[in-house]
Chains A and B, each alone.
Chain A
Amino acid sequence: MNEKIAKKAVVVDGQEITLDGEKNILEVVRKADIEIPTFCYHSDLSVYGACRMCLVEVEGRGLMPACSTPPEPGMVIKTTTSRVLQARRMMVEFYLANHERDCTVCERNLNCRLQAIAASLGIDEVRFGERKEKLPKDTSTFSLVRDPNRCILCGDCVRACKEIENIGIYDFTKRGSQTKVEPAFGKKLSEVECVYCGQCSVRCPTGALVVKSEVDEAWKAVLNPDLTVVAQIAPAVRVAIGEAFGLPPGEITTGKIVAALKKIGFDRVYDTAFSADLTVIEEAEEFFRRLQKGERLPQFTSCCPSWVIYAERNYPFYLENLSSARSPQQMFGSVIKNFIYQVENVPLEKIVSVSIMPCTAKKFEARRPEFIRNEIPDVDIVLTAQETIRMIKTANIDFKQLDPLPFDVPLGAGSGAGVIFGVTGGVTEAVLRYAYERLTGQELKEVEFKGVRGMESVREAEVDFGGRKVKVAIVHGLANAQKLVRDMRNGERHYDFVEVMNCPGGCIGGGGMPLEYPDYQEVLRRRAEGLYNADRLSVVRKAQDNPSIKFLYEKWLKEANSEVAESHLHTHYYSRRRISNEMIRIQEAQSAQKVDIAVCVGTSCYLKGSYNLLQELLELTKEYGVEDRVSVGATFCLEKCTEGPNIRINEKVFSGVNKDNLRQIFEEAVLSKLVAETH
């Protein structure tokens, strides 16, 4: 090491850089204006060190990965040497040789890190041939498309799902060149615990995980003159869409988006902040009722569809606690399909409701059967910010130069409270602005509740509503939410109101937002700032002051939580199974009159002897000569692990089955049916 270098400094490409607590060389070289390309490094995920793109040459130590090597004073680092270049180029050749290279027809064309890195390195030949294997795409969900042929196995989705959401639907399978990233047992995304949040897709450097596009449907609608196409724009997208057109993150482009959509052919453009205001009132009134009765507390927010599905699958004990108020997207959808079409005097079947969202899970939410009446969905098409950007580009619109246009009336305007829904803590702050005035009867002068703002994973606040102290918590990222819920169940934390957002930062970090920059945390911070600025610039900053809201209550809803509101703006939740398509058929009944038996061979039941039960059941069917009329299969998890072993006969689940009561159950639940049906 060079003795001339200052005590707490390193040399990067000849430039002396003072160390200031940087965790790795990657952060240090950034100070020398060098941005080393990586596939697997994300500041909010664990260091993985596998893509090997960030190799730098450290004097005396050879090639070192910049992402996982802590800087040491005196280090002499060279980021571009012939050895580094040779390695980096060959890495890219390796990637390309195993990557489907029909870039021009890829969703991520010109938006792909692999493409960009290959271009910057000037790769003009791949000496290792082409990918021969062609695996099927997974298009099973409404939200995401997974194309394993474009996967470069960087593991970003694996870690995003595990570390941010603590769900972990992906992992590596097999070894060597057979290695794959896939859900367990090669299942489809729709068959596993995916909550469709798209955090994997945001971090995917290639086209292996992309948003499922509804752009074609949207074009079809807007280009059809017979249809009235009504758009709603979610708060978060207004501070992000500009990023794709050279504007900085956080710049408010609401008017430009309205103008662009109008140019594209949308007939009416409304603001989801309006229905967010509606949500504030409906949700807050629901909360007051619960507070008064002291029941179903804490109340959880329900505007995040990923959180809602997660809760339905994992927290059956909290379903009653979820606010029954629909999300702003679905409230607006309902308003469009139940009210606006009358105001606009358009036949219901001629109106198309499109929402512009930061979120991939909203696509799933719009298809929930609760939000479809007589086969007419409240929201027909959900476009993420990414898809909206695509449409603006397709229409050749010079977005930067557009003159802003206002939202349409009468339901266009949203308050500042509705706008901050897009950032973590925003729902809570909006509700507080309403609740204060509603409960104290006094005007709220200082509308900003700074205490609930910020990016810490869990934030708490206590608010005094005229003597009644209300404890609120705000959490973002499902992994954090899970910890919070665990603490609440253990009695370690107590709240009256909990806001949960699936994505880090809230909707501004949604899975359908423009793709990630090198410094994602900074992007999130600026988008959040953008929303708070938009709030500050709003004339109306409280939901209850929004004239459009007053209009809607007057004309249609009458009052909060009214009968109309209950049926059109509220919903209900179901306990959902987490695993599907799990049956392994062992004995298939031939007869039309048959009984289906499924024995759980999940770990818990298996350890309690369910495998033996399966064998005994097969024996029993032989003994009674009903093999042709009883189907027997093995299944995974009937979700009653503590009461296992469990078996399911037709639709009914029997728990605590053992070799002593098996015959009796078989006789009563199986044979009796067969006898009854035979007679």
Chain B
Amino acid sequence: MRFETREQLEKYIAELKSTSGKRRVLVCGGLGCLAKGAQEVFDAFEDIVEREQVAAEVEKLEENPHLVKTGCMGLCEAGPLVRIEPEEILYLRVNPEDVEEIVEKTLKNGEVVERLVYQEEVDGEVRYWPHLKDVPFYRKQVKITLRNCGTIDPENIDEYLVRDGYRALARVISEKTPDEVIEEITKSGLRGRGGGGFPTGRKWQFARVVKGDKKYVICNGDEGDPGAFMDRSVMEGDPHSVLEGMTIAGYAIGAQEGYIYVRAEYPLAVKHLKKAIEEAEKAGFLGDNILGSNFSFRIIVREGAGAFVCGEETALISSIEGKRGMPNPRPPYPAYRGLWGKPTIINNVETLANVPVIMLRGADWFRSFGTANSAGTKTFALAGKIKNTGLVEVPMGITLRDLIFNIGGGIQNDKKFKAVQIGGPSGGCLTERHLDLPIDYDSLSGAGAIMGSGGLVVLDEDTCIPEVARFFMNFTQNESCGKCVPCREGTKHMLGLLQKVVKGEATTSDLELLEETALVVRDASLCGLGKTAPNPVLTTLRYFRDEYLDHVVYRVCPAHVCQAMREYRIDPAKCRSCAKCARVCPVQCISGRPRVPYVIDQEKCTKCGACFEACPYDSITVEWRKKENE
């Protein structure tokens, strides 16, 4: 139906709430769970539920309402995840074969299937946490951005409405002026969640005061950090919250059109967004005369071809305009001259998803979460050597230790924590001594990292730091748009120098040049990509200089990662001087005579391993080089 007034909407939502059933089976349809077979689990539920006609015993929300495929529930590590409402029971690693038992025990008799719930070993004792709120992973989380993600069917607008969807928009349109909206957002202290942390209200204010016949709202869904999937999860799991946020932003700045720029590699997000736009248009939340008002707003989905730099706002604008995605100098800022030369605001997915809640529950409520300068919550994608990899949302100001060890469950295989890379390739590498650092914009940038979009990669003792720096530098170099020299050439040379480090070919002057280059690239680059590309190098040089020196001075890789730091040696006691090793050596670095043990020239050896394979007497050993004093 099409809503013409706020009252109509409120009445509809109240009705939905009173008629919707309590018993719901939620199967996570996030990409992680789908990859682990969530679709099969969902199908099994569908089959069995139909067969058993459990449906007859529960009330209906709509047709077949009780079985829902949701967006990401967060604990990807333990997928496929299934949630049973109203008890809020969470089952992990559910196979299609388990479904029968869940239906029998839980749905029919209200019992818990213990083997599928979260288990925690505390002091040698195994504890079971069947309820979601008790699971350590969720205990400290506060879900504002992800309020609906993993809870609703993203393809059904009623599911969004029943959780107060579009009430904020209705309220804004019927009782607030654009300036009041901006004031509220400013008061809430909401800052850009895409990385920079610019105050959202101020950004809107700039665009509001600029005169223009046309203005645009752009939602930046070009999430490109390796291992980050917060924005994808929101777009897939709760697309309407993004649309509602954009529409409110459009109302506030006086825009008539919005673009969602989303990567083509996110087909599910694209599909859900398009479906949501279609439904929202039908319901009168988008299009002409929204909710019977004079305000009209349309949203168009633009798919990007997957260039990291298109997450930068001016490059993103170029890309939407059909040009090569290359950044442009600012000023002029997009708020003055953006898309097609018109005043434009660009907000991140997560930022926009926060907007409706703030407008519904007020700035003060929002400010009650987080810290004085960083209000609200932040989502993170936990990745790397952490036990509970997945998607989390925590109040700003929580410590890294809490995030990694309580929510994340600590390091896999109980290895030692070494470092954490925050903010993806643009972020910095923080160490053990930063673990009690509160996570907020200012603390992180003080330590040389950035909030970034929320990628968080945990590294354990088996990780080689220069190799990690090389990995990220390789990424930024490949993704550099090639426009400005420091980024295009500087990252190339930094990558070359890092390659020399991990190959054991670097000298201390290479290390000095690496640092000088990093500082200049940070200082001189045109856009954020280049300015932040040296961060991994600079922070690791700052916090792990010894490990670089180990590679450069001693040719030792303490983490036993860099192959060039291995040594092949011939055990003279075992060598029978058969010369097989010398014959296969591609660089002729093995020499010897009959009846005299053969010797490998370490300077020439390329560590290819051919001699090791060829030796019939197992006389060749491979060892990691050690520092001489060890």
A52 and B526 in contact (CB under 8 A), knowing A172-B326, A172-B483?
Answer: yes
Which residues from chain B contact A335 at a C-beta distance below 8 Å? none
Q: A83 contacts the other chain (Cβ, under 8 Å)?
A: yes
Q: B446 contacts the other chain (Cβ, under 8 Å)?
A: no
Q: B493 contacts the other chain (Cβ, under 8 Å)?
A: yes
Q: A441 contacts the other chain (Cβ, under 8 Å)?
A: no
* A50:B307 contact, CB within 8 angstroms: no
Q: Encode contact with A along B467-483: 1 for CB under 8 Å, 0 otherwise.
A: 00000000001111111
Residues of chain A from 1 to 59 with CB closer than 8 A to chain B in the complex = 47-52, 55
* A55:B524 contact, CB within 8 angstroms: yes
Smallest CB-CB separation from B307: which chain A residue?
Answer: A175
* B329:A47 contact, CB within 8 angstroms: yes
Report whether over half of chain A's contact residues are helix, strand or loop; otherwise say mixed.
loop
* B484:A52 contact, CB within 8 angstroms: yes
A176 and B479 in contact (CB under 8 A), knowing A90-B516, A94-B485?
Answer: yes
* B524:A87 contact, CB within 8 angstroms: yes
* B489:A155 contact, CB within 8 angstroms: no
Which residues from chain A contact B526 at a C-beta distance below 8 Å? 49-50, 52, 65
* A176:B488 contact, CB within 8 angstroms: yes
* B482:A174 contact, CB within 8 angstroms: yes
Q: Once the chains are docked, how many angstroms separate the CA of A172 from the CA of B327?
A: 13
* A49:B326 contact, CB within 8 angstroms: no
* A70:B331 contact, CB within 8 angstroms: yes
Which residues from chain B contact A70 at a C-beta distance below 8 Å? 331
Q: Once the chains are docked, how many angstroms separate the CA of A128 from the CA of B482?
A: 18
Which residues from chain B contact A264 at a C-beta distance below 8 Å? none
* B480:A65 contact, CB within 8 angstroms: no
Q: Once the chains are docked, how many angstroms separate the CA of A128 from the CA of B491?
A: 12
Q: Once the chains are docked, how many angstroms separate the CA of A152 from the CA of B484?
A: 10
Q: A604 contacts the other chain (Cβ, under 8 Å)?
A: no
A153 and B517 in contact (CB under 8 A), knowing A176-B488, A177-B489?
Answer: no
Q: Number of contacting residues on A, CB 8 A?
A: 37
Most A CB contacts (10 A, CB to CB) among B307, B489, B513 go to B489
A455 to chain B, nearest CB (A): 25
* A87:B489 contact, CB within 8 angstroms: no
A262 to chain B, nearest CB (A): 47
* A91:B524 contact, CB within 8 angstroms: yes
* A49:B484 contact, CB within 8 angstroms: yes
* A97:B493 contact, CB within 8 angstroms: yes
Q: Once the chains are docked, how many angstroms separate the CA of A90 from the CA of B491?
A: 13
* A91:B481 contact, CB within 8 angstroms: no
* A176:B477 contact, CB within 8 angstroms: yes
* A50:B483 contact, CB within 8 angstroms: yes
Smallest CB-CB separation from B488: which chain A residue?
Answer: A179
* A68:B329 contact, CB within 8 angstroms: yes
Q: Once the chains are docked, how many angstroms separate the CA of A174 from the CA of B325?
A: 11
* B489:A95 contact, CB within 8 angstroms: yes
Q: A49 is contacted by which of B324, B329, B493, B496 (Cβ under 8 Å)?
A: B329
Residues of chain B from 317 to 341 with CB closer than 8 A to chain A in the complex = 324, 326, 328-329, 331
Q: B486 contacts the other chain (Cβ, under 8 Å)?
A: yes
A94 and B490 in contact (CB under 8 A), knowing A49-B329, A52-B524, A155-B483?
Answer: yes
Residues of chain B from 489 to 541 with CB closer than 8 A to chain A in the complex = 489-493, 496, 513, 516-517, 520, 523-526
* B489:A49 contact, CB within 8 angstroms: no
Q: Once the chains are docked, how many angstroms separate the CA of A127 from the CA of B513?
A: 8
Residues of chain A from 62 to 76 with CB closer than 8 A to chain B in the complex = 62-63, 65, 67-70
Q: Once the chains are docked, how many angstroms separate the CA of A62 from the CA of B531?
A: 13
Which residues from chain B contact A94 at a C-beta distance below 8 Å? 485-486, 489-490, 493
Q: A120 contacts the other chain (Cβ, under 8 Å)?
A: no
Which residues from chain A contact B479 at a C-beta distance below 8 Å? 175-176
Which residues from chain B contact A320 at a C-beta distance below 8 Å? none
Most B CB contacts (10 A, CB to CB) among A90, A153, A155, A171 go to A90
A65 to chain B, nearest CB (A): 6
Smallest CB-CB separation from B325: which chain A residue?
Answer: A175
Smallest CB-CB separation from B497: which chain A residue?
Answer: A128
Q: Encode contact with B along A92-103: 1 for CB under 8 Å, 0 otherwise.
A: 001101100000
Q: A661 contacts the other chain (Cβ, under 8 Å)?
A: no
Which residues from chain B contact A396 at a C-beta distance below 8 Å? none
Q: Once the chains are docked, how many angstroms separate the CA of A537 from the CA of B488?
A: 54
Q: Once the chains are docked, how many angstroms separate the CA of A90 from the CA of B490?
A: 9
Q: A95 is contacted by which of B477, B478, B485 (Cβ under 8 Å)?
A: B485
* B493:A128 contact, CB within 8 angstroms: yes
* A176:B482 contact, CB within 8 angstroms: yes
Q: Once the chains are docked, how many angstroms separate the CA of A70 from the CA of B526?
A: 16
A97 and B489 in contact (CB under 8 A), knowing A49-B484, A50-B526, A174-B482?
Answer: yes
Q: A104 contacts the other chain (Cβ, under 8 Å)?
A: no
Which residues from chain B contact A175 at a C-beta distance below 8 Å? 307, 478-482
Which residues from chain B contact A171 at a C-beta distance below 8 Å? 324
* B324:A52 contact, CB within 8 angstroms: no
Q: Encode contact with A along B30-60: 1 for CB under 8 Å, 0 otherwise.
A: 0000000000000000000000000000000
Q: B485 is contacted by which of A47, A51, A86, A178 (Cβ under 8 Å)?
A: A51
Residues of chain A from 138 to 176 with CB closer than 8 A to chain B in the complex = 152-153, 155, 171-172, 174-176
Which residues from chain B contact A179 at a C-beta distance below 8 Å? 480-482, 488
Which residues from chain A contact B491 at a C-beta distance below 8 Å? 176-177
* A52:B486 contact, CB within 8 angstroms: yes
Q: Once the chains are docked, how many angstroms separate the CA of A127 from the CA of B496?
A: 12
* B329:A176 contact, CB within 8 angstroms: no
Q: Once the chains are docked, how many angstroms separate the CA of A179 from the CA of B485?
A: 11
* B482:A49 contact, CB within 8 angstroms: no
* B329:A52 contact, CB within 8 angstroms: no
Q: Once the chains are docked, how many angstroms separate the CA of A85 from the CA of B478?
A: 28
Q: Once the chains are docked, how many angstroms separate the CA of A75 from the CA of B124?
A: 66
Which residues from chain A contact B517 at a C-beta distance below 8 Å? 90
B515 to chain A, nearest CB (A): 12
Which residues from chain B contact A177 at a C-beta distance below 8 Å? 477, 480, 482, 488-489, 491-492
Most A CB contacts (10 A, CB to CB) among B307, B477, B491, B493 go to B493
A421 to chain B, nearest CB (A): 38
Q: Once the chains are docked, how many angstroms separate the CA of A127 from the CA of B493?
A: 10
Q: Once the chains are docked, how many angstroms separate the CA of A176 from the CA of B480?
A: 4
Which residues from chain B contact A152 at a C-beta distance below 8 Å? 485
Q: Once the chains are docked, how many angstroms separate the CA of A50 from the CA of B524?
A: 10
Q: Once the chains are docked, how many angstroms separate the CA of A63 from the CA of B486?
A: 13
* B328:A49 contact, CB within 8 angstroms: yes
Which residues from chain B contact A127 at a C-beta distance below 8 Å? 513
A52 and B485 in contact (CB under 8 A), knowing A63-B523, A176-B480?
Answer: yes
Q: A176 is contacted by which of B324, B478, B496, B524 (Cβ under 8 Å)?
A: B478
Which residues from chain B contact A55 at a C-beta distance below 8 Å? 524
Q: Once the chains are docked, how many angstroms separate the CA of A67 from the CA of B526?
A: 12
Q: Once the chains are docked, how many angstroms separate the CA of A47 from the CA of B332?
A: 11
Which residues from chain A contact B524 at a C-beta distance below 8 Å? 52, 55, 63, 87, 90-91
Which residues from chain B contact A50 at a C-beta distance below 8 Å? 483-485, 526
Q: Once the chains are docked, how many angstroms separate the CA of A176 from the CA of B490?
A: 10
Q: Once the chains are docked, how many angstroms separate the CA of A55 from the CA of B324?
A: 25
Which residues from chain A contact B324 at a C-beta distance below 8 Å? 171-172
Q: A172 is contacted by which of B482, B485, B489 (Cβ under 8 Å)?
A: B482
Q: Once the chains are docked, how many angstroms separate the CA of A55 from the CA of B525?
A: 10
B324 to chain A, nearest CB (A): 6
A446 to chain B, nearest CB (A): 45
Which residues from chain A contact B513 at a C-beta distance below 8 Å? 127
Q: Once the chains are docked, how many angstroms separate the CA of A172 from the CA of B307?
A: 14
A61 to chain B, nearest CB (A): 12
Q: Which 4 A-B pairs rank lowest in CB-CB distance, beginning with the nearest?
A: A179-B482, A49-B329, A68-B329, A94-B489
Binding site for B on A (CB under 8 A): 47-52, 55, 62-63, 65, 67-70, 83, 86-87, 90-91, 94-95, 97-98, 127-129, 152-153, 155, 171-172, 174-179
For this complex, 16 residue pairs linking A to B, each with C-beta atoms less than 8 Å apart, are A47-B329, A50-B526, A52-B485, A68-B331, A90-B490, A91-B486, A91-B520, A95-B489, A128-B493, A128-B496, A152-B485, A153-B485, A172-B482, A176-B488, A177-B491, A178-B482
Q: Beyond the given A86-B516, A172-B324, A176-B480, could you list 6 further A-B residue pairs with CB under 8 A, ordered by the A residue number?
A: A49-B329, A52-B485, A55-B524, A94-B490, A97-B493, A177-B492
